[in-house]
Amino acid sequence: MIKATENSLSKVFSSDYCYEIPPYQRPYAWTVEETSALFDDLIDFYNQQKDDSYFLGSIVLIKEEGNPKSEVIDGQQRLTTLTILLAAIASNLSGDMRRDLESYILVPKRKSQGIQSRPIISLRERDRNFFLNYIQKLNFDSLLKEDPANFDNESQINIQLNSRELLGKLKDNFNNDPDKLFDFGSFLVQRCFLVTVSTPNQQSAFRVFSILNDRGLDLLPTDIIKADIIGRIDCKERTEFTLKWEELEVQTSRNGFNDLFSHIRMIFSREKAKRSLLEEFKQDVLKNFHDHPKDFIDKILEPYAESYRILTTQQYRSTTNAEDVNRLLKWLNRIDNSDWLPPAILFISQKKNQPEYVLWFFTKLERLAAYLHICAKNVNERVKRYAKIIASLQLPHSMEEPPGNVELEPAEIVEMQQVLNSKIYELTPRRRNYIILRLDSFMSDGAASYNPPLLTIEHVLPQTVSSGSEWETQWPDLDEREYWVHRLANLVPLTQKRNSKAQNYDFEQKKIAYFSGKSHVSSYILTTQVLKTNSWTPSFVEQRQEELLKVLSDGWEL
Tell me: the pLDDT tens digits for 370-408?
Answer: 999 999 888 889 999 999 999 999 999 999 999 989 999
Task: Say yes or no to pLDDT of 153 above 60.
Answer: yes
CB of 11 within 8 A of CB of 104? no
Q: How confident is the model at residue 104 (pLDDT cuts 50, 70, 90)?
A: very high
pLDDT at position 446 is 58
pLDDT at position 275 is 77
pLDDT at position 554 is 94
Phi then psi for 193, rounded to 5 degrees? -125, 150
**Dihedral (C-alpha) 47, 52, 54, 60: value to the nearest 10 degrees?**
160
E strand or H helix that includes residue 300: none
Cα–chain-centroid distance for residue 486? Answer: 36
Q: What is the pLDDT of residues 276-310, one digit of tens each?
A: 787 888 889 988 888 898 999 999 999 999 999 99
Look at 277 and 192; give whichever has higher pLDDT.
Answer: 192
- What is the residue-wise DSSP string for 31-61? -HHHHHHHHHHHHHHHHH-SS--EEEEEEEE
Q: How confident is the model at residue 269 (pLDDT cuts 50, 70, 90)?
A: very high
Least confident span in 22-26, 101-105, 315-319, 375-379: 22-26
Q: How many CB atoms lie within 10 A of CB 191?
A: 18
pLDDT at position 215 is 44
Look at 255 and 422; give whichever has higher pLDDT.
Answer: 422
- The answer to pTM > 0.85 is no
Q: What is the pLDDT of residues 516-546, one digit of tens each?
A: 655 555 567 877 777 788 888 999 999 999 9
CB of 493 within 8 A of CB of 437? yes
E strand or H helix that includes residue 69: strand 69-74
pLDDT at position 286 is 86
pLDDT at position 415 is 95
Q: What is the pLDDT of residues 67-80, one digit of tens each?
A: 888 888 888 899 99
Pairing of the two strands 106-107 and 118-119? antiparallel
pLDDT at position 502 is 54
Q: What is the pLDDT of residues 468-514, one digit of tens each?
A: 888 888 889 999 989 999 999 988 887 665 545 456 667 777 776 66
